[in-house]
Amino acid sequence: KDYPMPIYDGDIEAESGIPENGKKLKKMLKEHQGLLIASPEYNSSISGALKNFIDWTSRPEPGEKSIECYIGKVAGIMACSPGALGGLRGLVTLRSILGNISVLVVPEQHALSQANDAFTEDGKLKDEKNQKAVANIGKRVTSLTKAILESELVAKS
C-alpha cells in the first residue's frame, strides 16, 4: 500500500520501464543484506502484492544484471492464515521463488495459524511461543548475514 505499482507486465516495462516505486524498493533492497518477509497465504500461495514486489524489483535497470538486488541476500520467511496450516503451503512457494533469485533462505520459518485471532489490538502477537519463533528467525538471519559479511571481508584481505 505504501508503494503502489501496476501488476508486473513485460509490455508495461518495455513502454515505461520500472515504476518509480519499484526503483525506490530496489534501492532499499540494495542497502540491506538481510530480509524478513511475512506474507498472508492466499489460495495456497503467497500474496499477489508480494509476488508483484518481487517481479518488479528483480527486473534490471540499465547497466544492471537481472536480480542484482537479490543476489547474496539472506532471508527469513513467515506466513499467516486463518486456517490450521498457517500459511505453510505459501512458504513452500516463497522459498522456491527466493531460491531462484539467489536469496539464501534460512531453514527456520514460521507459519502462524488462526491468524485472525493471533494479534492484540496494537498488532502484537498474543502467544509468546509465536513471538519467540519470529524473534528466532530474525536472530538467525542476523547471525548468518554477519557470518557471510565477515567471510567476504576475510576473502578480500
Of 31, 149, 29, the residue nearest 101 (C-alpha) = 29
CATH number for position 122: 3.40.50.360
User: What would the pLDDT profile of 75-101 be if each residue is shown by its tens digit?
Assistant: 999 999 999 999 999 999 999 999 999
pLDDT at 17: 96
Total count of domains within the chain: 1
Does residue 3 fall inside a structural domain?
no
Of 84, 135, 77, 132, the residue nearest 107 (C-alpha) = 77
Does residue 124 fall inside a structural domain?
yes
Kind and range of the H or E element at 66? none
Kind and range of the H or E element at 133? helix 128-156
Residue 152's pLDDT band (cuts 50, 70, 90): confident
Does residue 40 fall inside a structural domain?
yes
Does residue 5 fall inside a structural domain?
no
Does residue 1 fall inside a structural domain?
no
Query: In one letter, which amino acid is 94?
Result: L
Does residue 4 fall inside a structural domain?
no
**For residue 157, is pLDDT > 80?**
no
Q: Please give the mean pLDDT across all residues of the chain.
A: 96
User: Which pTM value belongs to this model?
Assistant: 0.92
Does residue 57 fall inside a structural domain?
yes
Count CA atoms within 13 Å of residue 96 on its CB side: 9
At 52, list the grid cell: 508483484
Mean pLDDT on 4-32: 97
Mean pLDDT on 15-43: 97
pLDDT at 139: 98
Cβ burial of 11 (10 Å; 0-12, 13-18, 19+) is exposed
Residue 154's pLDDT band (cuts 50, 70, 90): confident
Does residue 45 fall inside a structural domain?
yes
User: What would the pLDDT profile of 97-142 be if each residue is shown by its tens digit?
Assistant: 999 999 999 999 999 999 999 999 999 999 999 999 999 999 999 9
More confident of the two residues 153 and 123: 123
pLDDT at 90: 97
Domain that holds residue 93: 10-156
CB 60 within 8 A of CB 68: yes
DSSP 3: S
pLDDT at 1: 87
